[in-house]
């Protein structure tokens, strides 16, 4: 039986996070806080629900992607919704979020656990997890942890290509300036 055929999945699929009368929805807040499009935030919420299904049914500890973890962290701030409605009525069990203790052993444990989560996702949902939300374990644990969250009001953010273009333009301007000064 596929995950999407289970009662748990139907409860998860029907569940809307947060108060029904909120003017600023959970999805809108998730998008704003992460600088995501509304579509990407909706997809991350869908994947968060799949992660929750796996947490309950995979038969092993699971580890979320960073995007899924962002949805989970935000959901935890809706504490009444999370603990009074989501866990008892939808999951029908508590789902605690525990941080890593750090170090090589923990990194290896979470790396392996995440790889197993991806394999279980594919086995239970019958498809490969979307790579833009669920990157491979190497990316999740070796590349992405180097990322930092920035407030764009405080910094100028350029892609690597844009930065190279700016540096090339500055270099050409300096060459032109030196050439002009020499003549």
Domain ranges of the chain: 3-149, 152-183
Query: pLDDT of the chain along its 183 residues, tens only?
Result: 799 899 999 999 999 999 888 899 999 999 999 999 999 999 999 999 999 999 999 999 999 999 999 999 999 999 999 999 999 999 999 999 988 788 888 888 999 999 999 999 999 999 999 999 999 988 888 777 766 777 777 888 888 899 898 888 888 888 888 888 887
Query: Structure pTM?
Result: 0.83
User: Are 50 and 90 a contacting pair, CB within 8 Å?
Assistant: no
Task: Measure the CA–CA gap between 145 and 17, rounded to whole angstroms.
Answer: 27
């Amino acid at each position: 039986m596929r995950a999407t055929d289970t009662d748990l999945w139907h409860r998860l699929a029907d569940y809307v996070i947060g108060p029904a009368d909120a003017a600023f929805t959970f999805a809108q807040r998730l998008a704003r806080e992460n600088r995501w499009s509304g579509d990407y935030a909706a997809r991350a919420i869908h994947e968060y629900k799949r992660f929750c299904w796996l947490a309950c049914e995979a038969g092993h500890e699971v580890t979320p992607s960073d995007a899924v973890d962002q949805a989970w962290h935000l959901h935890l701030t809706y504490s009444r919704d999370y603990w009074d409605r989501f866990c008892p009525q939808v999951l029908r069990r508590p789902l605690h979020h525990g941080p890593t203790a750090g170090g090589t052993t923990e990194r290896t444990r979470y790396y392996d656990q995440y790889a197993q989560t991806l394999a279980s996702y594919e086995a239970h949902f019958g498809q490969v997890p979307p790579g833009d939300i669920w990157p491979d374990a190497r990316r999740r644990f070796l590349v992405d942890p180097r990322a930092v969250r920035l407030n764009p009001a405080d910094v100028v953010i350029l892609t690597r290509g844009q930065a190279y273009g700016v540096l090339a333009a500055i270099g050409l301007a300096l060459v032109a300036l030196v050439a002009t000064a020499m003549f």
